[in-house]
Chain A
């Protein structure tokens, strides 16, 4: 069981966290102006990289704060100290 460094609480066991998918997928500024295909890409499509991936995590059983972290999907290692999501 991995330790994940919560930026607020420090290293905690992974069972305290929930995964929130790919980071950096912003809610579109004007959804109404998007084509159906563009909207579908926002709602349903996410990258699935082999290697470093920027991800959103939440310390669900702790401080309940969201943060962004870069993790290597091949090794599960976190490559950066997580930052608070903005």
Chain B
């Protein structure tokens, strides 16, 4: 055991048992997996990703490049750090050999999000962050304070004095004051991304017993204060990846936070003053310590305190390598590689400000020779400040002053520092000098990158993979820059940096998804008949966000059989379909006719009240955007219907024209899609059904002509009837307020019973309309198809001076005889249903495809079995198709070439005799 009495903030009265690599270990509440293991002189069984070399624990928090574990219980999660996973009772983990494994069981935990709006967001609750938050809160500002550790205090160990009190007492006092001032203070919460205008995403780890495992806080702050501290920088030497090599700050952190002594025989190799505190503290806790300072001069006061403790301090001394197998046994010191026995080699090469959140929003970093590191350049981006170690200010008294201004607490004046020596690596074999321990990337790899001509850090990063592991180069990134500077003979400030991008630490996709999973992923829209469809055994298909009944299979029927039955019912008797999802736009105002004349290719101003017209809308390029029927309700009012999937798009497009191009037009557009529901009653017996349900209406052909509408009532409820047909059959659309729709639907079914009224779905509707050659915009068109290409020149007005798209029809390309045109295809074997999307190849010889690239004539857009034709048929866009009627073309289906004859698009009732019943 390496637990030291009197140290650390773990709760020693409590015990937690965790299992690591099959072995149970006991620890205390407040421990991490790493601190439990180190307390037992153990490490996770991990090996490196490329060379399979043993890996230990290199640091005590998120910067650790090693110490990767896979959590197995309570819920499998890969690639976490032993240093950051809190030890909770029953936790089961194992070391990761290279790569982790995603859970194979569904994650039943809850993840959610919360929104915050504040004046000031402070990131980091170390001394800088606490004081910055306190100063802002005292000034009456709304403050949010987030910190990724379980408790506030940052790197304060309790040995410091602030405002005359022990530092941890000061921390408690500030935390209490912040709570009293109403500050939102979140621990275990990592600000992982910083975006424009003070927007910060932070991940809170709430634990397994919480109702929500993890929560993403979306914080919009007027000002962001980055007080994220600094990360100690290692020095590269031979075999610096051996378990037992650790950052000096980590050993000190483990001692003061967890009461764990990470080694007994300790060598501290430093180029910086801060490691002396680690040396002194570890010696006080019972370790044998030796300091090797790379600098010629050691800091006087610190050296003296070490020597008082019997810690030898050697200056101008470098570590060149290590000895040991799976664990460290000695450091190799000096050019003569003298073996200095040790079980822990602490390394400190100075400190790198944690300026990621400044960099995320475009803040640049500048190399500051005074600290031998990159720090945020001034000015920082608008609304963003960095304070304390994140800003390159390391002495506690200076940190407090910078964070608190005139309201700052005071600490002891800093000791006279000895400047940090910038040392990236010591002499040795570059193939065993690991720059990125997580990626097994060595100095030799960097030499190869430079030898291949790469000099920019972004190139070297991608070539060597340095900085691309789970830690995103928190310890290796700057080292790589320094070594690159050396290898290319440039000062480091000329090398530049790579760009820090979110997330700062890995974030589970489950947390980002939050509650928007499964049913909550996207809204599902259903008509008032949804329950009826389900009860009737409908199969559904998604159309945009809508659930639409696709067909209603009887027992033993597949889709083909059900659709053939439904089609036959409509063609021979009567069918009924829920058409409520059609987009409906109420167009109202004295200039409504003008607007619709400009937007539709055909004339809408001439449409008489009481009548219905089919219309096509195009874009400026003349290509079809949507189609639908238009009902003229009054001189100043129309009801426009759109395809289901295009409803919002069409309304938005109409609004755009109205607002931005013709704001002088007195028209208002209102979506009434959800307010009105539509039942389509189609088939030769539909008139009987309508007549029975609405006895006040004369549904005869003379009194109720095709493409007209009439209002009536049913038990006092207003109903609109329209003779609109999308099947070619006699048909009525019954429109009623969505509240009364299910009741009206039942009445229609009841009246249709004696004719065997058959509910039909969208698939059946598609077949029926295709038999009549009616295109579906978005299925038979793809944005490159004009009304003429669809054979709908009749719907393009020649009278109107202009409408959207008109000018484009005069372009030569629009008159190109080789444009793709909509035609029907009948497979000559009368048996093959051509797969939709199949290509039509320009090929007339038998059997064998010509060599690639095979010339393409077009493609199949719709394809079905037809009950009326008793054979499969298809619609297709074919180059010059209208000129090729009667010709046979070939469609590869699997390994076969299927011959199909080109024909007119209308295959059923071409003379239109059926529409009047």
Provide the residues of chain A in CB contact with B811, threshold 8 Å: 36, 39-40
- Within 8 Å by CB of B660, from A3, A32, A60, A66, lies A66
> B-side binding surface: helix, strand, loop or mixed?
helix
Provide the residues of chain A in CB contact with B812, threshold 8 Å: 36
- Contact: B652 with A60, CB < 8 Å? yes
Provide the residues of chain B in CB contact with A86, threshold 8 Å: 663
Provide the residues of chain A in CB contact with B620, threshold 8 Å: 42-43
Chain A's nearest CB lies how many Å from the CB of B217?
14
Chain B's nearest CB lies how many Å from the CB of A52?
18
- Contact: B807 with A32, CB < 8 Å? yes
Q: Please tell me if B75 contacts chain A, counting CB pairs below 8 Å.
A: no
Whole-angstrom distance between the alpha carbons of A85 and B197 in the complex?
25
Whole-angstrom distance between the alpha carbons of A2 and B194 in the complex?
11
Given contacts A34-B807, A36-B811, contact A1 B195 (CB under 8 A): yes
Q: Please tell me if A58 contacts chain B, counting CB pairs below 8 Å.
A: yes
- Contact: A65 with B196, CB < 8 Å? no
Provide the residues of chain B in CB contact with A46, threshold 8 Å: none
Q: Please tell me if A51 contacts chain B, counting CB pairs below 8 Å.
A: no
Residues facing A in B305-348 (CB within 8 A) are none
Query: How many positions in chain B have a CB within 8 Å of any CB in the partner chain?
Result: 22
Residues facing A in B618-673 (CB within 8 A) are 620-621, 652, 655-656, 659-661, 663
Contact with A along B198-209 (1 / 0, CB 8 A): 010000000000
Q: Please tell me if B808 contacts chain A, counting CB pairs below 8 Å.
A: yes
Provide the residues of chain B in CB contact with A62, threshold 8 Å: none
Whole-angstrom distance between the alpha carbons of A42 and B804 in the complex?
13
- Contact: A66 with B659, CB < 8 Å? yes
Q: Please tell me if B802 contacts chain A, counting CB pairs below 8 Å.
A: yes
- Contact: A1 with B659, CB < 8 Å? no
Q: Which residue of B lies closest to A38 (CB)?
A: B807
Q: Which residue of B lies closest to A40 (CB)?
A: B811
Residue of A30, A64, A76 with highest tally of chain B CB at under 10 A: A64
Whole-angstrom distance between the alpha carbons of A66 and B660 in the complex?
7
- Within 8 Å by CB of B661, from A1, A27, A60, lies A27
- Within 8 Å by CB of B659, from A3, A39, A44, A85, lies A85
Q: Please tell me if B801 contacts chain A, counting CB pairs below 8 Å.
A: yes
Query: How many positions in chain A have a CB within 8 Å of any CB in the partner chain?
Result: 26
- Contact: A85 with B195, CB < 8 Å? no
Provide the residues of chain A in CB contact with B807, threshold 8 Å: 28, 31-32, 34, 39
Whole-angstrom distance between the alpha carbons of A65 and B808 in the complex?
28
Whole-angstrom distance between the alpha carbons of A31 and B660 in the complex?
18
Whole-angstrom distance between the alpha carbons of A60 and B655 in the complex?
11
- Contact: A66 with B621, CB < 8 Å? no
Q: Please tell me if B810 contacts chain A, counting CB pairs below 8 Å.
A: yes
Provide the residues of chain A in CB contact with B801, threshold 8 Å: 32
- Contact: B656 with A66, CB < 8 Å? yes
Chain A's nearest CB lies how many Å from the CB of B812?
7
Q: Please tell me if B256 contacts chain A, counting CB pairs below 8 Å.
A: no
- Contact: B808 with A85, CB < 8 Å? no
Provide the residues of chain A in CB contact with B687, threshold 8 Å: none
- Contact: B660 with A85, CB < 8 Å? yes
- Within 8 Å by CB of B197, from A3, A27, A36, lies A3
- Contact: B808 with A39, CB < 8 Å? yes
Provide the residues of chain A in CB contact with B195, threshold 8 Å: 1-2
Given contacts A39-B808, A43-B621, contact A2 B659 (CB under 8 A): no
Provide the residues of chain A in CB contact with B808, threshold 8 Å: 39, 43
Q: Which residue of A lies closest to B807 (CB)?
A: A31
Whole-angstrom distance between the alpha carbons of A39 and B621 in the complex?
10
Q: Which residue of A lies closest to B196 (CB)?
A: A2
Q: Please tell me if B806 contacts chain A, counting CB pairs below 8 Å.
A: yes
Chain B's nearest CB lies how many Å from the CB of A13?
8
Chain B's nearest CB lies how many Å from the CB of A36?
5
Whole-angstrom distance between the alpha carbons of A26 and B620 in the complex?
12
Whole-angstrom distance between the alpha carbons of A65 and B659 in the complex?
8
Provide the residues of chain B in CB contact with A42, threshold 8 Å: 620
Provide the residues of chain B in CB contact with A32, threshold 8 Å: 801-802, 806-807, 810
Q: Which residue of B lies closest to A26 (CB)?
A: B661
Given contacts A32-B802, A32-B807, A36-B812, contact A56 B660 (CB under 8 A): yes
- Within 8 Å by CB of A64, from B196, B199, B655, B810, lies B655
Provide the residues of chain B in CB contact with A66, threshold 8 Å: 655-656, 659-660
Whole-angstrom distance between the alpha carbons of A42 and B197 in the complex?
35
Whole-angstrom distance between the alpha carbons of A78 and B810 in the complex?
39
Whole-angstrom distance between the alpha carbons of A64 and B660 in the complex?
12
- Contact: A36 with B656, CB < 8 Å? no
Given contacts A27-B661, A60-B652, A85-B659, contact A2 B621 (CB under 8 A): no
- Contact: B196 with A31, CB < 8 Å? no
Whole-angstrom distance between the alpha carbons of A2 and B807 in the complex?
39
Contact with B along A47-68 (1 / 0, CB 8 A): 0000000001010100011100
- Contact: B199 with A1, CB < 8 Å? yes
Q: Which residue of B lies closest to A23 (CB)?
A: B660
Whole-angstrom distance between the alpha carbons of A27 and B802 in the complex?
11
- Contact: B621 with A1, CB < 8 Å? no
Provide the residues of chain B in CB contact with A28, threshold 8 Å: 807
Provide the residues of chain A in CB contact with B199, threshold 8 Å: 1
Whole-angstrom distance between the alpha carbons of A56 and B621 in the complex?
20
Whole-angstrom distance between the alpha carbons of A85 and B808 in the complex?
26
Whole-angstrom distance between the alpha carbons of A44 and B811 in the complex?
14
Chain B's nearest CB lies how many Å from the CB of A2?
4
Provide the residues of chain A in CB contact with B656, threshold 8 Å: 20, 58, 66
Contact with A along B809-820 (1 / 0, CB 8 A): 011100000000
Chain B's nearest CB lies how many Å from the CB of A45?
12
Provide the residues of chain B in CB contact with A43, threshold 8 Å: 620-621, 808
Chain A's nearest CB lies how many Å from the CB of B370?
31
- Contact: B196 with A1, CB < 8 Å? yes
Whole-angstrom distance between the alpha carbons of A86 and B661 in the complex?
8
Whole-angstrom distance between the alpha carbons of A63 and B508 in the complex?
34
Residue of B801, B807, B812 with highest tally of chain A CB at under 10 A: B807
Whole-angstrom distance between the alpha carbons of A66 and B220 in the complex?
25
Whole-angstrom distance between the alpha carbons of A2 and B199 in the complex?
8
Chain B's nearest CB lies how many Å from the CB of A15?
11
Q: Which residue of B lies closest to A56 (CB)?
A: B660
Provide the residues of chain B in CB contact with A2, threshold 8 Å: 195-197
Q: Which residue of B lies closest to A68 (CB)?
A: B660
Contact with A along B137-152 (1 / 0, CB 8 A): 0000000000000000
Chain B's nearest CB lies how many Å from the CB of A77?
9
Whole-angstrom distance between the alpha carbons of A26 and B220 in the complex?
37
Chain A's nearest CB lies how many Å from the CB of B912?
34
Provide the residues of chain B in CB contact with A65, threshold 8 Å: 659
- Contact: B196 with A76, CB < 8 Å? yes
Whole-angstrom distance between the alpha carbons of A43 and B656 in the complex?
16
- Contact: A31 with B802, CB < 8 Å? yes
Whole-angstrom distance between the alpha carbons of A60 and B199 in the complex?
21
Provide the residues of chain A in CB contact with B810, threshold 8 Å: 32, 36
Whole-angstrom distance between the alpha carbons of A36 and B815 in the complex?
13
Q: Which residue of A lies closest to B661 (CB)?
A: A27
Residues facing A in B177-197 (CB within 8 A) are 195-197
Residues facing A in B805-836 (CB within 8 A) are 806-808, 810-812
Provide the residues of chain B in CB contact with A39, threshold 8 Å: 807-808, 811
Chain A's nearest CB lies how many Å from the CB of B661?
5
Provide the residues of chain B in CB contact with A56, threshold 8 Å: 660
Q: A3-B197, A31-B807, A58-B655 are in contact. List 8 more A-B contacts (CB 8 A).
A: A1-B199, A2-B197, A3-B220, A20-B656, A44-B621, A56-B660, A58-B656, A66-B660
Q: List 27 A-B contacts (CB under 8 A).
A: A2-B196, A2-B197, A3-B196, A3-B220, A26-B661, A28-B807, A31-B802, A31-B806, A31-B807, A32-B806, A32-B810, A34-B807, A36-B810, A36-B811, A36-B812, A42-B620, A43-B621, A44-B621, A56-B660, A58-B652, A58-B656, A64-B655, A66-B656, A66-B659, A76-B196, A85-B659, A86-B663
Q: Which 9 pairs from chain A and chain B are nearest by CB?
A: A31-B807, A2-B196, A3-B197, A66-B659, A43-B620, A1-B199, A85-B660, A66-B660, A1-B195
Chain B interfacial positions (CB closer than 8 Å to A):
195-197, 199, 220, 620-621, 652, 655-656, 659-661, 663, 801-802, 806-808, 810-812
